[in-house]
Amino acid sequence: MAEAAPLVRTEGLTKTYGDHVTTTVLKGIDLVLEPGELCALTGPSGSGKTTLLNLIGLLDRPTGGRLLIQGLDARTLDDDARTTLRGRTLGFVFQFHHLLPAFSAEENVMIPLFAQHGRPQAWMHERARALLAAVGLAERMGYRATDLSGGEQQRVAIARALVMEPPLVLADEPTGNLDTQTGAQVLELLRSFNRELGTAFVIVTHDEAVAERCDRIVHMVDGRVDSDTRVSERALILEK
């Protein structure tokens, strides 16, 4: 049953790049993500964080191991089924080039709804506006993506990631490109959606302060999970 299954389960997930000279980037990841979790993914550059996120996000295919999304084995799905599952279950926030430059903020947020086809136009506009208002951009709806500041763009991207109300949002360094204060605001936004909608988040970050504000920190080193701690446990460790 899908309800009984965790949001994401990986078993010995591996990823190898290259045909002649091969690099094994992920060397067996076992990870379980539960609904509503706010999880930070940290680790040195090149440790495989983005690669893992792309696999979980069904943007890329693993070399070995198993990946289950809501109990569905990703290997059994064809491209269309993966796209549909991705559209309904997953939201993305990327570090760079998050938005479609030719479209307005509102249209960017509408894209995931629109791509599903068959939803009434008025309803899609309403949804997009509601989310833009929730990220504090009610005044910027008609702006072209390129006319927005970096922080505003990132907030539009968050609204877009959430417009389908997916159970899981994958964010790759969502604050990496922003100044500390704007970064903090964006993180607060993610936290509030996590609290209010129960959306689970995986946030890749290099920022210690950002990781600290999450419920769980998965630390990767060289393609492996080095440590996986919950904040409650960390508090205990610190106390010792």
Partner 1 sequence: MPFELFIALRYLKDGRLQTGLILAGIGVGVGVIIFLSALITGLQQSIVERTLGSQPFVVVRPPEEMPRALASDPAALNAVETQRPPQRIRSITGWEQVEALLQKTPGVVAVAPTVSGPAIAVRGEAALAIAIRGLDIEAYSAVIDVRKRLVDGVFNLSGFNAVVGTELARKLGVGVGGRLRIQTGGKPETVYTVAGVFDYRNTDLNERLVFVSLRGAQTLFGLEGGVSSLEIRGTEIFGADALADEIRDRTGLIAESWMARNGDLLVGLRSQSSSSVMIQVFVILAVALGIASVLAVSVVQKAREIGILRATGTRAASVTRIFLLQGAMLGTLGSLLGIAIGTALALLFARLATNPDGSPTFPVALTGWLYARSVGVALTVGLVSAIVPARDAARMDPATVIRNG
For the chain, the residue count is: 240
Comparison of 18 and 120: residue with beta carbon closer to Mg ion? 18
Produce one character per residue of 48-80: b if its CB has 16 or more CB atoms within 10 Å, e if not. Answer: bbbbbbbbbbbeeebeebebbbbebebeebeee
Binding mask 155-174 for partner 1 (x = CB under 8 A): -----x---x----------
> Of ligand ATP, Mg ion, partner 1, none, which one sits near residue 183, judging by CB under 5 to 8 A according to partner kind?
none
Q: Phi then psi for 42, rounded to 5 degrees?
A: -120, 175
> Of partner 1, ligand ATP, Mg ion, none, which one sits near residue 18, judging by CB under 5 to 8 A according to partner kind?
ligand ATP
> Of partner 1, ligand ATP, Mg ion, none, which one sits near residue 111, judging by CB under 5 to 8 A according to partner kind?
partner 1
CB 56 within 8 A of CB 89: no
Comparison of 18 and 118: residue with beta carbon closer to ligand ATP? 18
**DSSP helix/strand/coil, 61:** coil
Q: Tell which residue, 139, 179, 175, has the closest CA to residue 157.
A: 175
Establish if 84 lies at the interface with partner 1 (CB under 8 A): yes
Residues lying near partner 1 in the complex (CB under 8 A) are found at 50, 54, 57, 59-60, 79-80, 83-84, 86-88, 92, 94, 96-103, 111-112, 114-117, 121, 160, 164
